[in-house]
A and B are shown apart, each in its own frame.
Chain A
Amino acid sequence: MPQVFRPRANAIARVLIIFAVLFVAIWGAVLWGYYQTPYVGFTGKAPYQPVPFSHKHHVGALGIGCRYCHNGVTKSEFAGIPPTHTCMTCHSQLWTNAPMLQPVRQSLETDTPIRWVRVTKLPDYVYFNHSVHVKNGVPCQACHGRVDKMPLVWKVHGFRMRFCIACHLNPGPHLRPENAVYAMGWKPKIDPKLLAAKLMKHYHIKTAHLTDCYVCHR
């Protein structure tokens, strides 16, 4: 019986193996790169909103606190989107004829809610609770970024699991004193490492079982 493979089959096999490895590696790199893009994470791009509400103006310039509108944040898992009535506390007096606010007035008139476009979304199998985070010194800014600088809000972080886990493993560096949780652009005045240790103690945070699956998934 003659030889099935000729000597040059060795070379072909080598080339094929190299190509196969390269193929997998390149595709892997491309997919990984794609996965990092803001497109996949929905980050960096502000979606259109029915009313072009500017956090930059209201928070940054006027200094209205987060909890004025998102008042569920200390009590509930959901920070809350303000009802039309909250907008109208000021806008029944100010800019009462601004065309930009027409949808708000219409909402009040027709008793139809404003349909805001969601910016931040977690998968349905993740149970995130706002109240326990702000109560334990995790500032709004840690997840939502410098909202006071956003004309229309965009998403800053991709919220992949590693983002959550990183903080659950070592929350210290992200924590702030109680009076700075809702502040934007706050900077620690003492050594951050010292502050982290102090705050971990202050908030009684134990990380031992903080990364157990049942903390977020149920």
Chain B
Amino acid sequence: MSVTDKSSGNIPGSINLATIRKKLAGTRGREYWKGLEQVAETPEFDEFLHAEFPRLAAMWDRKIDRRTLLKLMGGSVAFAAAGLAGCSRPIGVIVPYVNMPEGEIPGKPMYFATSLTLGGHARGVIAESYTGRPTFVEGNQEHPASLGAIDSYAQASVEQLYDPDRAQVATYRTIPGTWSAFIEQMGFQAAKMKASGGDGFAILTQSITSPSLLAEIRQVQKRFPKARWYRYQPVGREGVDAGAKLAFGERVNTVYHFDKADVIVSLDADFLGLMPGHLAYARQFADGRRQKPGKPIKMNRLYVIAGTPTITGASADHVLPVPSAKIDAVARSLAARLGIGAAGGTTEAQAHWLDAVVEDLKKHYGRAVVVPGDVQPPAVHALAHAINARLGAVGGTVTYTEPLEPDGAGSLKDLTDAIDHNEINRLLVLGGNPVYDAPADLDFAGHYARVEERIYWSHYPNETAYMSYWHVPAAHELESWGDALAYDGTVSLTQPLIAPLYHGHSAYEVLRVVSGANADTDYDVVRGYWRQHYRRYASNGEAFDAFWKRSVQRGLIDNSALPAKTPHLRDDLASRLPQPLFRQRRGLYLQFRPDDSIFDGRFANSAWLQELPRRLTKITWDNVVMLSPRTAERLGIDNKELVVLGYHGREVTGPAWIMPGQPDNAVTVQLGYGRKRAGRLGTGVGFDVYPLRRADAMWFDDGLTLMKTGKRVFLATTQYHQTMEGRGLLRTATLDHFRDHPHWVDEGYPGKPPKLHESLYPEPAEKPPLEYRWAMNIDLSTCIGCEACVIACQAENNIQSVGKEEVLAGHEMHWLRIDRYYSGNMEDPETYFQPVPCMQCENAPCEYVCPVEASVHAEGLNAQVYNRCIGTRDCSQNCPYKVRRFNWFRYQTGRPTSTPVAAENPDVSVRQRGIMEKCTYCIQRINEAKIAADKTDRRIPDGMVETACQRACPTQAISFGDLNTSHSKINQVKDSPLDYEMLAEINTRPRTSYLGGLTNPNPALAKKDKNA
């Protein structure tokens, strides 16, 4: 029943780009389209328009062969027999503690501040634990890199913790071994190594900012002076470091302050999506876009020069699609206009665009900032530093600190060269998965195989583990002690919430064992390190124990952010810049990007992340080859057609995806897929693009060829599911339009709610009156489409993943979806996001049609009573917002995609097959607050209840609260003239409303066709 390898001609979604272009040319003003299929009016789009679950009938046609049928029949007979034997009634058991830990109250969760890292950079989180079992993480409000928000990767850490595919025991040549055998063997070898001073010994790590782990590595280097240290990270930031060296002659860490910026120019930087500190940056950026009641109408302006569409580009007021390789030239031209160096080659349109941007930048001296992207080469970074200095940004919108990572580690290329020279005979790989994710031209696997002794420490028995002699399972970050730096240098502490589930060990232990030192625990090492170094941060005369307790409790060391410094910009920078890149292009540009969901491949085995729709394409369980419409047209490539990417003699095949807003001649592919040994879920999902990666072109290069195959595949995109006919669902305008027409959200749209008592039916008012009237508002100006809310909702509410085939049938279960809309032409459209949870209608259409009153009003909310539901799906059919989800199969247990039972939230029912479910405004959190308030005979104070999506949101776009509390935050937000309700005209009286989206385009760059 495989879907991917069907190569039939009847796969929906074939589109004719010429027709679309003609149709879009005819659109005027703000008309929104969801995707190319909509504009082309393909049968696929129409299908989803007319039926909620269009592929249902097709499921009858699934072929079952004789063997499967017999297997199933045999199985059911066996189960029936087993069922009879189990006729006696089940006995429930209560298992109390022998000695209850202090402060523990069974039934009540405990919360611990800890931190999780991505690419070495820490985000502070608060982890929730039910009787010693971590179930949920949310942002730590006191942590500067989190500010209470969380990203999807951190949210999925709980699922990863319980992943049954994690490495479970230490293995020697893939045969299970023991930790003590490992210690014994390593001790023996370390003694031998000691004699030679560590000659031939090397350590390969990922990016490390952890002060204690770096100290450990220094210890090893001291013990073995000839030992070497190499560092490799597939999503690395080499350009950032090299750029700083070029500009200042030294490495620095750049920290941006978007809250102080009025004009922001991004040179291919996805600072809202992936850069270190992105959660804090998103908050700062959004604060500059939010319209506050009673304050003057004001907004920052974001220009993005984008190599490929990102959520940063989607939030921008102006996007200039330029292949990543040509951004070097654009940056030079931008700098030249500010009097730095010589211009690069730009087209006339680009020059016009840049003129307007530079004018705007100059006008905002001191309140402007240019952000270079991590994927860009050193020259762009150096130029950005120079431009920022010229714009008076340094010290204001940009500050510099000491680098977070020390120098002194070799690159992966240095390592393979050393192996070539037979200089390495013992290699310890600490984390990462270099056999899978190293650039192909280095042939790391081939080199690794030649190292005599290969020791590997990681979470999964993956590609590298398979090639290693010793493989030691890593303890998860929720299972071990540690520390790491946040983007601004704040020391963030990691503490375990649970003892390692699978014989995992920390990097400290492995490093110590391999180097023959005392195998101290991670706790001893980390605490020992800080005992020596705490005085810098401790308040006067504070004892270490008090300091440690306070810091662990807060999850960070207070006031440890690195102080700002002012590096000296080289005067002769312009002459030092390397030659501009790619003056003559050969073939197409090939661009790599970390994946929105699985990053560099490390999260490939996470059902939550694999099923989380990718931010812009809304594709699940796959990666694609992104092409611009014009390029696709020129090459005659159809959407979802398999294409062969040829580059430096290597070939990779993947499905094409025609991406509005993609620069012409640039082809973007996502890292992390096509894993061979990822686990039950991740193995074989998508196609692997690492074979195309080269050490000298980690992010982009020219010389790519594309070849049609004529075969098309199914891609499980959620974009056309639950589509609603355009009725003013999404409302956006420019800031100037808002100034002139403060009530534009109500003008020209059909959505006026009928007046009270206009209908013959009684009004749905609650009698007797409710104590609380919960309501939500989502600000479309600040929603950046990062999908953190979607996965937070999934984690909080026990929402199941369903797998690619089910998503193809429209059966995905996310209660909260983010609709993506485009407006304008295909080449550089404006992009908008609109999160759609349940509207909690006061006059809910779903309630009238339920035959068993499972869909009823309860406490003023639109409740779904699972134990009453019989699964007629009438409610879903009658829901105008299409926010109800049906359990078509038994998703909750027994499937590889099922959420591990231990990760489920005990406060929420786990729904069974045949049950309708939906957003409840996190009723479990409301009830918890209500019980707490009831016990003290008080009302719930404003802000005490936060829904999971609201808490996760990096930009605080979601407001939630009680309408009956006067002056509550939600009342203030809803008083905004921008507030509007979706489909209000059908008299549903939704509690969820939106603030109309505002953009702040530069009048000098206004598009002619725009009337608003």
**B-binding residues in A (CB < 8 A):** 47, 72, 75-78, 80-85, 107-108, 111-118, 121, 123-125, 127, 129, 131-132, 135-136, 204, 206, 208-209, 212-215, 217-218
Docked-complex contact A113 and B95, CB < 8 angstroms: yes
Docked-complex contact B105 and A75, CB < 8 angstroms: yes
Q: A84-B96, A118-B93, A213-B865 are in contact. Are A77 and B858 (CB under 8 A)?
A: no
Q: Of all chain A residues, which has the CB nearest B100?
A: A83
Give the CA-CA distance A108 to B107 in the complex, in Å: 23
Residue among B93, B98, B108 having the largest count of chain A Cβ atoms under 10 Å: B98
* Beyond A115-B95, A214-B858, 12 additional pairs, beta carbon < 8 A: A78-B106, A78-B107, A81-B106, A83-B100, A84-B96, A84-B98, A111-B99, A115-B93, A117-B94, A118-B93, A124-B910, A212-B859
Give the CA-CA distance A124 to B106 in the complex, in Å: 17
What are the residues of chain A within 8 A of B910 when measuring CB–CB?
Answer: 124
Give the CA-CA distance A217 to B927 in the complex, in Å: 10
What are the residues of chain B within 8 A of A213 when measuring CB–CB?
Answer: 856, 858, 863, 865, 868
Q: Of all chain B residues, which has the CB nearest A208?
A: B768
Q: Of all chain A residues, which has the CB nearest B910?
A: A124
**How many chain-B residues does the 8 Å CB contact rule pick out?**
40
Q: Of all chain A residues, which has the CB nearest B911?
A: A125
Give the CA-CA distance A204 to B99 in the complex, in Å: 38
Give the CA-CA distance A32 to B733 in the complex, in Å: 64
Within 8 A of A (CB), among B750-779: 766, 768, 770-771
Chain A min CB distance to B901 (Å)? 12
Docked-complex contact B867 and A217, CB < 8 angstroms: yes
Give the CA-CA distance A206 to B769 in the complex, in Å: 11
Q: A125-B866, A132-B935 are in contact. Are A83 and B859 (CB under 8 A)?
A: no
Give the CA-CA distance A81 to B909 in the complex, in Å: 23
Q: A127-B927, A218-B927 are in contact. Are A212 and B92 (CB under 8 A)?
A: no
What are the residues of chain B within 8 A of A83 when measuring CB–CB?
Answer: 96-100
Q: A75-B108, A81-B94, A209-B771 are in contact. Are A215 and B859 (CB under 8 A)?
A: yes
Whether, in the assembled complex, B908 has its beta carbon less than 8 Å from a beta carbon of chain A, the answer is yes
Docked-complex contact B105 and A80, CB < 8 angstroms: yes
Within 8 A of A (CB), among B82-102: 91-100
Whether, in the assembled complex, B401 has its beta carbon less than 8 Å from a beta carbon of chain A, the answer is no
Q: Of all chain B residues, which has the CB nearest A129?
A: B931
The dominant DSSP class at the A interface is loop
What are the residues of chain A within 8 A of B863 when measuring CB–CB?
Answer: 212-214, 217
Docked-complex contact A217 and B865, CB < 8 angstroms: yes
Give the CA-CA distance A125 to B100 in the complex, in Å: 27
Closest 9 CB pairs of A and B: A78-B107, A118-B92, A76-B107, A212-B858, A214-B858, A83-B97, A81-B96, A213-B858, A83-B100
Whether, in the assembled complex, B924 has its beta carbon less than 8 Å from a beta carbon of chain A, the answer is yes
The listed residue (A77, A117, A123, A129) touching B91 by CB distance below 8 A is A117
Mark contacts of B825-868 with chain A using CB atoms, 8 A cut-off: 1 yes-contact digit, 0 otherwise: 00000000000000000000000000000001111010101111
What are the residues of chain A within 8 A of B766 when measuring CB–CB?
Answer: 209
Give the CA-CA distance A212 to B858 in the complex, in Å: 5
Docked-complex contact A132 and B931, CB < 8 angstroms: yes
Docked-complex contact B770 and A209, CB < 8 angstroms: yes
Whether, in the assembled complex, B923 has its beta carbon less than 8 Å from a beta carbon of chain A, the answer is yes
What are the residues of chain A within 8 A of B908 when measuring CB–CB?
Answer: 218
Give the CA-CA distance A76 to B932 in the complex, in Å: 10
The listed residue (B91, B92, B105, B856) touching A76 by CB distance below 8 A is B105
The listed residue (A111, A124, A127) touching B98 by CB distance below 8 A is A111
Chain B min CB distance to A95 (Å)? 19
Docked-complex contact B96 and A82, CB < 8 angstroms: yes
Mark contacts of B93-127 with chain A using CB atoms, 8 A cut-off: 1 yes-contact digit, 0 otherwise: 11111111000011110000000000000000000
Give the CA-CA distance A2 to B105 in the complex, in Å: 83
Docked-complex contact B859 and A209, CB < 8 angstroms: yes
Chain B min CB distance to A166 (Å)? 19
Q: Of all chain B residues, which has the CB nearest A212?
A: B858
Q: Of all chain B residues, which has the CB nearest A40?
A: B89
Give the CA-CA distance A111 to B100 in the complex, in Å: 11
Docked-complex contact A107 and B98, CB < 8 angstroms: yes
**A-binding residues in B (CB < 8 A):** 91-100, 105-108, 766, 768, 770-771, 856-859, 861, 863, 865-868, 907-910, 920, 923-924, 927, 931, 934-935, 937
Q: A47-B91, A108-B98, A135-B934 are in contact. Are A218 and B920 (CB under 8 A)?
A: yes
Give the CA-CA distance A212 to B856 in the complex, in Å: 9
Chain B min CB distance to A91 (Å)? 14
What are the residues of chain A within 8 A of B865 when measuring CB–CB?
Answer: 213, 217
What are the residues of chain B within 8 A of A75 when measuring CB–CB?
Answer: 105, 108
Give the CA-CA distance A125 to B94 in the complex, in Å: 18
The listed residue (A85, A132, A214) touching B861 by CB distance below 8 A is A214
What are the residues of chain B within 8 A of A215 when measuring CB–CB?
Answer: 858-859, 927
What are the residues of chain B within 8 A of A136 when measuring CB–CB?
Answer: 934
What are the residues of chain A within 8 A of B98 when measuring CB–CB?
Answer: 83-85, 107-108, 111-113
Give the CA-CA distance A217 to B923 in the complex, in Å: 9
Q: Of all chain B residues, which has the CB nearest A109?
A: B98
Give the CA-CA distance A77 to B907 in the complex, in Å: 10
The listed residue (A125, A129, A212) touching B909 by CB distance below 8 A is A125
Q: Of all chain B residues, which has the CB nearest A132?
A: B931
The listed residue (A80, A125, A206, A217) touching B106 by CB distance below 8 A is A80
What are the residues of chain B within 8 A of A127 when measuring CB–CB?
Answer: 907, 924, 927
What are the residues of chain B within 8 A of A124 when measuring CB–CB?
Answer: 909-910
Chain B min CB distance to A38 (Å)? 13
Q: Of all chain B residues, which has the CB nearest A80?
A: B106
**Would you list 12 pairs from A and B whose C-beta atoms are within 8 A, ordered by A residue?**
A75-B105, A77-B108, A85-B97, A108-B98, A118-B92, A125-B909, A136-B934, A204-B937, A209-B858, A213-B856, A217-B865, A218-B923
What are the residues of chain B within 8 A of A121 when measuring CB–CB?
Answer: 92
Q: Of all chain A residues, which has the CB nearest B861?
A: A214
Give the CA-CA distance A113 to B100 in the complex, in Å: 11
What are the residues of chain B within 8 A of A76 when measuring CB–CB?
Answer: 105-108
Give the CA-CA distance A84 to B99 in the complex, in Å: 6
Chain A min CB distance to B300 (Å)? 41
What are the residues of chain A within 8 A of B909 when measuring CB–CB?
Answer: 124-125, 217-218
Q: Of all chain B residues, which has the CB nearest A42?
A: B89
What are the residues of chain A within 8 A of B858 when measuring CB–CB?
Answer: 209, 212-215
Give the CA-CA distance A135 to B859 in the complex, in Å: 21
Q: Of all chain A residues, which has the CB nearest B92?
A: A118
Docked-complex contact B106 and A85, CB < 8 angstroms: no
What are the residues of chain B within 8 A of A114 when measuring CB–CB?
Answer: 95-96
Chain B min CB distance to A75 (Å)? 5
What are the residues of chain B within 8 A of A82 when measuring CB–CB?
Answer: 96
What are the residues of chain A within 8 A of B861 when measuring CB–CB?
Answer: 214
Docked-complex contact A132 and B106, CB < 8 angstroms: no
Q: Of all chain B residues, which has the CB nearest A112?
A: B98
What are the residues of chain A within 8 A of B935 when measuring CB–CB?
Answer: 131-132, 135
Docked-complex contact B931 and A131, CB < 8 angstroms: yes
Chain B min CB distance to A90 (Å)? 16
Residue among A47, A111, A135, A218 having the largest count of chain B Cβ atoms under 10 Å: A218
Q: Of all chain B residues, which has the CB nearest A121?
A: B92
What are the residues of chain B within 8 A of A111 when measuring CB–CB?
Answer: 98-99
Q: Of all chain A residues, which has the CB nearest B772?
A: A209
Chain B min CB distance to A115 (Å)? 5
What are the residues of chain B within 8 A of A208 when measuring CB–CB?
Answer: 768
Q: Of all chain A residues, which has the CB nearest B89?
A: A42
Chain A min CB distance to B381 (Å)? 51
Q: Of all chain B residues, which has the CB nearest A39?
A: B89
What are the residues of chain A within 8 A of B108 when measuring CB–CB?
Answer: 72, 75-77
Q: A213-B863, A215-B859 are in contact. Are A117 and B934 (CB under 8 A)?
A: no
Q: A125-B866, A132-B931 are in contact. Are A72 and B95 (CB under 8 A)?
A: no
Give the CA-CA distance A116 to B867 in the complex, in Å: 28
Q: Of all chain A residues, which has the CB nearest B926?
A: A214
What are the residues of chain B within 8 A of A131 when measuring CB–CB?
Answer: 931, 935
Give the CA-CA distance A84 to B868 in the complex, in Å: 40
Give the CA-CA distance A76 to B924 in the complex, in Å: 14
Chain B min CB distance to A133 (Å)? 10
What are the residues of chain A within 8 A of B771 when measuring CB–CB?
Answer: 206, 209
